[in-house]
């Protein structure tokens, strides 16, 4: 497509949306300034730089596509490539195991902000803020219970780790002048039928109370619920009910990962319920296939509905949008671009919804009209608006980015 064609298509689309009372320029402005937190772990299959071992402890990356980032320099190089192909505002989401440990082994209960100074500088140069995650998986002490472990020695190790991670997040937030969002996901659970469910949940509650007691002004905590983990199929201590209760009682952000639900569950329906009781949401936009498989996020019903619910609840400013998938079976740079663009398209479509009209129909009980408009909006010229967004951002439009990704694979990834 030529620049002129993209502009002409946009003009036609703008008029079409305007006829429904929708301001496309305003939607593009909101899209431009709504941050998406890029997860570091798609570049290297959640391996990190602590031990260089494959992820274990409830999660697993599948595939062996060449070109995995093997060190910090490669990961940063890959992320720079990704950023060069995307328009918008981005944050960067790190796990503790991605610290700059300088070749020495730093155990999780010894980690300090100094190991992340390089990341803080790197992000600053790219005008990005950092988000952070404690890491209780892929460690000899991970087992099947960490913060919920009745063994005090193991539990204290993970409590200390998580407390230190909060201080790292606080240091990041202070340096960037913008709160760092710190997520706590633990895989704690059990492979088979469990009788002491209450006991483990009580221990987890007490561990969290201890961890969250320290007031840190430059970071925000969020807690991620889950249905099950690999090898932990029967019972998850940090279930949805557990964290919904904990977060609403303690005013903590709830992390909603779209892969962490029953396969047929309508995840987006959780948005409006949670938002009435928790301060904010952290989103891990993912794509489960039959299970929490972390396939690359797509512009599918799940993702579209999720963003639609956020916009309908007027809650974009109460949501932190992050991605969470790790596909090791395809070009990892391409995987980033597909997922981010899918999230952007979903958000854009939500912003372009003729909401006043739909609300009016609903208020007046005109349900045929509501359904008809919901159906019609699916085929409005969203693509033309999104193409124009990328043009304005001076990044490849539509499938034009494929050539860039292929070239990068040839020049860089294939040589690793």
Ligand X SMILES: C[C@H](O)[C@H](O)[C@@H](O)C(=O)CO
Q: How many CB atoms lie within 10 A of CB 244?
A: 18
Tell me the C-alpha distance between 281 and 73, whole Å.
32
292 interface partner picked from Mn ion, ligand X, none, CB below 5 to 8 A per type: ligand X
Q: Whole-number minimum distance, CB 318 to ligand X, in Å? A: 20
Selected from 44, 221, 324, 377, the binder of Mn ion by CB under 5 A is 324
Q: Which two tokens stand for residue 126?
A: 């790219």
**Which position has the token pair 């349900």?**
367
Options 50, 188, 257, 294; binder of Mn ion; rule CB under 5 A: 257
What number of CA atoms fall less than 13 Å from residue 381's CA on the CB side? 18
Of residues 275-294, which lie at the interface with Mn ion (CB under 5 A)?
Answer: 284
Beta bridge partners of 58: 230
- Let me know how long the chain is: 416
Residue 170 annotated to the active site: no
CA-nearest of 128, 96, 126 to 113 is 96
Token pair of 312 as six digits: 């309908």
Toward ligand X, which CB reaches closer, 59 or 352? 59
Query: Does residue 294 have an active-site annotation?
Result: yes
Catalytic residue among 324, 327, 387, 409: 324
**Rounded to the nearest whole angstrom, what is the least distance from the CB of residue 37 to Mn ion in the complex?**
11
* Greatest Cα-to-Cα distance within the chain, rounded to the nearest angstrom: 66
Task: Determine whether 185 is an active site residue.
Answer: yes
User: Smallest distance, Å, CB 41 to ligand X?
Assistant: 5
Is 292 flagged in the annotation as binding?
yes
Task: Annotate each residue in 22-51 with x if it binds ligand X (CB under 6 A) or - if it does not, as one string.
Answer: -------------------x----x-----
221 tagged catalytic: no
Assess 332 for contact with ligand X (CB under 6 A).
Answer: no
Which residue in the list 44, 78, 292, 409 is annotated as catalytic?
Answer: 292
73 among annotated binding-site residues: no
Phi and psi, residue 61, nearest 5°: -95, 135
Residue 415: Cβ-neighbour burial (10 angstroms; 0-12, 13-18, 19+): exposed
Site for ligand X in 216-235 (CB under 6 A): 224, 226
Q: 294 labelled as ligand-binding?
A: yes
| CA nearest neighbour of 98 among 81, 79, 82 | 79
Does 327 participate in catalysis according to the annotation? Answer: no
Least distance from C-beta 223 to ligand X, angstroms?
A: 11
User: Residues 384-403, buried b or exposed e (16+ Cβ, 10 A)?
Assistant: bbbbbbbbeeebbbeeebee
Residues that bind ligand X (CB under 6 A): 41, 46, 59, 133, 185, 224, 226, 257, 284, 292, 324
Q: Which residues are annotated as a binding site for Mn(2+)?
A: 260, 292, 294
Binding-site members are 260, 292, 294
Name the site residues for Mn ion (rule: CB under 5 A).
257, 284, 324
């Amino acid at each position: 497509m030529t620049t002129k064609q993209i502009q002409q298509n946009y003009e036609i689309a703008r008029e079409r949306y305007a006829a429904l009372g929708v301001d496309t320029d305003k939607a593009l402005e909101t899209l431009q300034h709504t941050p998406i937190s890029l997860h570091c772990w798609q570049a290297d299959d959640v391996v990190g730089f602590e031990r260089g071992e494959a992820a274990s402890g409830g999660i697993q990356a599948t595939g062996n596509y060449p070109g995995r980032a093997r060190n910090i320099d490669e990961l940063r190089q890959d992320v720079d490539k990704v950023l060069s192909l995307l328009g918008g505002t981005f944050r960067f989401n790190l796990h503790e195991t991605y610290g700059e440990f300088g070749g020495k082994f730093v155990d999780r209960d010894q980690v300090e902000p100094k190991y992340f100074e390089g990341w803080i500088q790197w992000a600053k140069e790219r005008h990005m803020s950092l988000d952070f995650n404690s890491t209780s998986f892929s460690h000899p002490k991970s087992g099947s219970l960490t913060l919920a472990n009745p063994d005090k020695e193991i539990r204290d190790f993970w409590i200390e780790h998580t407390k230190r991670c909060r201080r790292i997040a606080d240091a990041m937030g202070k340096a960037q002048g913008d709160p760092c969002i710190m997520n706590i996901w633990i895989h704690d659970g059990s492979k088979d039928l469990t009788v002491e469910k209450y006991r483990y949940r009580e221990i987890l509650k007490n561990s969290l109370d201890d961890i969250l007691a320290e007031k840190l002004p430059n970071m925000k905590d969020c807690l991620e619920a889950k249905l099950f983990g690999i090898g932990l199929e029967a019972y998850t201590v940090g279930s949805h009910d557990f964290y919904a209760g904990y977060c609403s009682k303690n005013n903590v952000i709830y992390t909603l990962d779209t892969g962490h639900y029953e396969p047929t569950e309508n995840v987006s329906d959780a948005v409006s319920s949670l938002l009435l009781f928790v301060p904010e949401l952290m989103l891990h936009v993912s794509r489960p296939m039959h299970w929490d498989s972390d396939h690359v996020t797509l512009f599918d019903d799940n993702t579209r509905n999720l963003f639609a619910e956020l916009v309908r609840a007027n809650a974009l400013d109460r949501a932190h949008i992050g991605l969470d998938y790790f596909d090791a079976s395809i070009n990892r740079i391409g995987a980033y671009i597909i997922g981010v663009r899918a999230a952007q398209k979903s958000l854009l479509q939500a912003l372009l919804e003729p909401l006043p009209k739909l609300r009016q129909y609903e208020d007046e009980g005109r349900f045929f009209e509501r359904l008809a408009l919901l159906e019609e909006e699916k085929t409005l010229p969203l693509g033309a608006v999104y193409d124009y967004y990328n043009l304005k951002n001076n990044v490849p439009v539509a499938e034009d980015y494929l050539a860039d990704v292929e070239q990068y694979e040839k020049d860089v990834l294939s040589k690793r």
